[in-house]
Amino acid sequence: MRFDPATIASRDPQQMLALITRFPRMCEEAWSLGPAGVTVKSPQAVVAVGMGGSGIGGDLLRAVVFDEATVPVVSIKEYRAPAFAGPQTLVLACSYSGETEETLAAYDEAVQRDAACVVITSGGELLRRAQAHRHAAVVIPKGLPPRAALPYLFLPMLAVLGRIGVVRSFDAELREAVQVLQRVTAEHGPDRPDSPARRLAEALPGRIPVIYSAVPFLEPAAERWKDQFNENAKTFAVWNTFPELNHNETVGWGLDDALARLLHVIILRDAVEPPRLALRAAITRDLALSRAGGLDEVRAAGTGKLARLLSAVLIGDFVSWYLAVLRGVDPTPVAVIDELKKRLARG
């Protein structure tokens, strides 16, 4: 199939591709955003609250700071704040629209417990409540699908943690990440007839993507791939991570040959892989994954944490866009989610 401008315009009328290619620039812009009024000092825990495209930022945050944050950092995707949330907890409430009912409920619960709160939103009810409670807010650009606004939903949270001393400064890593993401965009975009993302997408029609992260650090990237296949390409996908999948899902590859051939495994590899995890991936390929209808590996780019994690995310965004075009579906609308929200609003 030709990915010429006319084809792209007809199959991507709302220009999701343009938003994907803006990812590096969004990262630069997002890093400069941030509230000045964060008063919490030395929190005992950090809780990121969000759903869907607004929730993946909390997962990325947890992965980046996991091995160096001075306090626990958790990502919550539900209506409630955890029981430990209180005056010494920093709650980062993230909702692109500001209208996500689960996030609003969790935020209200955190407020009742006198937690220190920062909200990340483009407006809506969440911003109004934050202003009423005099909580700091990061106000991000409007008019984007939440999943396309990921840099704005993730990076300000990391910047806040750096400012209050929970983690070190990531300024230098952000600069490297932007450069790496620019290269990823040039390598995987439709201007390159040999785009690796395009080649991978061309192998996926008629198959179910199974995305595995070779290391736990890339776990949120694997989940993001799954989410983007769901929302952009309107197709089913599953994800898991090493080493956990070796304790359960590996056995599931004993399924019938006909079913195994419907699965296409994508392993996300990191530049930094402990030898035991690399060995697990190799053995699992030999024992089980070779039964799949297809198997590919995608390697994260860069040196720093931000470059590696965000490059893995961005490659997946491109693959999902190519698959949407190949399937003849508009990557932007999410009609089922819209209908679900309408029915919820009716009670």
Question: Quick check: is 341 catalytic?
Answer: yes
Choice among 101, 176, 249, 341 that is catalytic: 341
The C-alpha torsion from 62 through 63 and 66 to 70, rounded to 10°, is -40
List the one residue out of 313, 329, 332 whose CA is nearest residue 270.
Answer: 313
Burial 87-124 (b: 16+ CB within 10 A, else e): ebbbbbbbbbbbebebbbebbebbbeeebbbbbbbbbb
End-to-end CA distance of the chain: 45
Q: Which amino acid is at 198?
A: R
Two tokens, residue 22:
């803006």
Give CA–CA dist 221/239, Å, rounded: 10
Residue 276: CB atoms within 10 A of its CB come to 9
Give CA–CA dist 106/108, Å, rounded: 5
In sequence order, what are the beta bridge partners of 95?
A: 121
N residues, the chain: 347
Residue 250: CB atoms within 10 A of its CB come to 17
In sequence order, what are the beta bridge partners of 90?
A: 46, 116
In sequence order, what are the beta bridge partners of 210?
A: 238, 265
Choice among 102, 188, 231, 234 that is catalytic: 231
Question: Quick check: is 223 catalytic?
Answer: no
**CB-count exposure of residue 208 (10 Å: 0-12, 13-18, 19+):** middle
Question: Quick check: is 249 catalytic?
Answer: no
Residues taking part in catalysis: 231, 247, 341
